[in-house]
Amino acid sequence: MEPGEPLAPGESRPGAEAATAPRWEEAKAFYDNLAPKKKPKSPKPQNAVTIAVSSRALFRMDEEQRIYTEQGVEEYVRYQLEHENEPFSPGPAFPFVKALEAVNRRLRELYPDSEDVFDIVLVTNNHAQVGVRLINSINHYDLFIERFCMTGGNSPICYLKAYHTNLYLSADAEKVQEAINEGIAAATIFSPSRDVAVSQSQLRVAFDGDAVLFSDESERIVKAHGLDRFFEHEKAHENKPLAQGPLKGFLEALGRLQKKFYSKGLRLECPIRTYLVTARSAASSGARALKTLRSWGLETDEALFLAGAPKGPLLEKIRPHIFFDDQMFHVAGAQEMGTVAAHVPYGVAQTPRRTAPTKQTPAAQ
């Protein structure tokens, strides 16, 4: 065949197939890059750091709660079905969950085959009929939440251990107390009084010490005998580690993930940062707190000893995604300064039981 000679029907020029193949591969690669990326595979629960979050912690559902309270469950379900294509607004735990996912992206870049990442489980006593709206909301915000536990009005607490839960966050104080009684790290989460921007690239978690990371041993001394006896007790027991509190295991899990970045030479660029924010005074009672953490093989990136001063102003500077405290007085102070605060109902400070500020009450789960 001469160059330029017209082709007969069904005839192709020599070498045409070979020339077409690479062009097709290039086009396929181009369009594959345009297609939505496949989400990562969910880790096995026993290998991950599992964070269980209630629907009313993750999303704002105030109107839905009003309908449920005033008109009952049937009208509530009907409303949810009618609005299932309308995503919920973000709730108090939303920035925390987004920060967990940011850490996961970094971990998967460094350790593609590791399942030692955060795994977020949506745990709710909602009916399954509401599930479509929750799924639509999760997809709307591009959240990676594959595990759901919807119990249709029953308490979900009995399922938390089966999910290997490291931390449970809810807006329902009764459910949180139930979880604490079962030995599960848990806290009632509250929305701040005003919005404050938080880091998009670094997870920041702040902890109170006594009755949160540590047991309530020292707080019992204060309540029974006053501050002077407390200082004497701490000095005498400076080298005796405090017993662990309900959130010690969660700090331990954060520390384990931090070390995965440290081992890659990324200590200064680590996307997880932890803070001890305590009412203890450094000179009189700070050493025992730090030595306790050391005895556990743990540390916090920053330790702030306030000697009884309000915590809110310091938290406003830290801008954590979440702050845990056992006393509602400190939770309320954090809220006022724009911090998402979570109440840990553990220890002697809960007797008599403290309640949420009247201006900011948590929604039911």
Same domain, 166 and 275: no
The average pLDDT across 206-219 equals 93
355 pLDDT exceeds 70? no
pLDDT of amino acid 358: 41
Q: Is the pLDDT of residue 362 over 60?
A: no
Whether residues 160 and 217 fall in one domain: no
Q: Please indicate whether residue 216 is annotated as part of the active site.
A: no
Q: Could you list the residue range(s) of the whole structural domain that residue 234 is in?
A: 203-349
- Give the pairing of strands 186-190 and 302-305: unpaired
Nearest Cα neighbor of 286 from 271, 276, 274 is 276
Distance CA 254, CA 81 (A): 38
Q: 298: which residues sit within 8 A by CB, 6+ positions away? A: 248, 251, 252, 255
pLDDT, position 91: 96
Give 3-state DSSP helix, strand, coil % of the chain, rounded to 5: 40, 15, 40
Q: What is the pLDDT of residue 35?
A: 43
Contact by Cβ (8 Å): 93, 141: no
Which DSSP letter does residue 189 get? E
Q: Is the pLDDT score of 299 beyond 50?
A: yes
Indicate if 340 and 209 belong to the same structural domain. Answer: yes
The answer as to whether 355 is a domain residue is no
Q: With 90 as the cut, is the pLDDT of residue 208 above it?
A: yes
Q: Pick the catalytic residue: 119, 172, 208, 216?
A: 208
- Residue 310 sits at the vertex; the CA angle it makes with 228 and 248, to the nearest 5 degrees, is 75
Least confident of 170-174, 229-233, 338-342: 229-233
The answer to whether residues 235 and 292 belong to one domain is yes
What is the C-alpha to C-alpha distance for residues 242 and 55, in angstroms, rounded to an integer?
35
As a whole number, the mean pLDDT across the chain is 87
Task: Answer yes or no: are the C-beta atoms of 72 and 107 closer than 8 Å.
Answer: no
Query: Residue 29 pLDDT more than 70?
Result: no
Amino acid at 322: I
Evaluate whether 285 touches 172 at the Cβ level (below 8 Å). Answer: no
What local confidence, expressed as pLDDT, does residue 36 receive?
A: 45
Instruction: Report the CATH number that the domain containing residue 125 is assigned in CATH.
Output: 3.40.50
Q: Are residues 63 and 178 in the same domain?
A: yes
Q: Is 52 helix (H, G, I), strand (E, B) or coil?
A: strand
Residue 221 pLDDT > 70: yes
Number of compact structural domains in the chain = 2
pLDDT band at 227 (very low <50, low <70, confident <90, very high): confident
- Is 4 part of any domain? no
Q: What are phi and psi of 299, to 5 degrees?
A: -155, 165
Query: Is 177 in the same domain as 212?
Result: no
Compute the radius of gyration of the chain from its Cα atoms: 26
Burial 246-281 (b: 16+ CB within 10 A, else e): bbbbbbbbbbebbebbeeeeeeeebbbbbbbbbbbb
Cα 164 → chain centroid: 15
- Whether residue 152 sits in one domain with residue 56: yes
Average pLDDT over residues 201-226: 90
Token reading at 46:
């026993």
pLDDT at 246: 97
Residues 182 and 251 in one domain: no
**pLDDT > 70 fraction of the chain, expressed in percent and rounded:** 85
Same domain, 207 and 276: yes
Per-residue pLDDT at 361 exceeds 60? no
In this structure, is residue 3 part of a structural domain?
Answer: no
Of 144, 165, 189, at which residue does a domain stop? 189
Residue 8 forms part of a structural domain: no
What is the C-alpha to C-alpha distance for residues 93 and 203, in angstroms, rounded to an integer? 13
The mean pLDDT of 257-283, rounded to a whole number, is: 95
**Looking at the predicted structure, is the pLDDT value of residue 356 above 50?**
no
Q: Which of 160, 189, 218 is the last residue of a domain?
A: 189
CB 241 within 8 A of CB 250: no
CATH of the domain at 209: 3.40.50.1000
Q: Which of 10-24, 67-81, 293-307 has the largest mean confidence?
A: 293-307
d(C-alpha 149, C-alpha 126), whole Å: 9
35 occurs within a structural domain: no
pLDDT band at residue 22, thresholds of 50, 70 and 90?
A: low
User: If you average pLDDT over residues 210-232, what whole number do you get?
Assistant: 85
Arithmetic mean of pLDDT, 238-255: 94
- Higher-confidence position of 146 and 39: 146
117-137 residue pLDDT tens: 999 999 998 888 888 999 999
Answer yes or no: is 9 within a domain: no
Residues 213 and 177 reside in one and the same domain: no
Q: What would the two tokens of residue 195 be?
A: 């919005």
pLDDT at 364: 42
CA torsion 180-58-151-45 (nearest 10°) is -70
Residue 254: partners with Cβ closer than 8 Å, 6 or more residues away? 49, 205, 272, 274
pLDDT grade for 37, boundaries at 50, 70 and 90: low
> Could you read off the pLDDT of 135-157 as tens digits, one per residue?
999 999 999 999 999 988 888 99
pTM (two decimals): 0.84
Tell which of 189, 216, 241 closes a domain. 189
pLDDT tens-digit readout, 53-77:
999 999 999 898 899 889 988 898 8
pLDDT for 363 equals 41
Amino acid at 40: P
Residue 118 lies inside a defined structural domain of this protein: yes
* 55 and 147 part of one domain: yes
Q: Distance between CA 326 and CA 342 in Å, rounded? A: 8
Share of the chain above pLDDT 90, in %: 64
For residue 39, the model assigns a pLDDT of 72
Decide if 37 is inside a domain. no
Are 334 and 222 members of one domain? yes
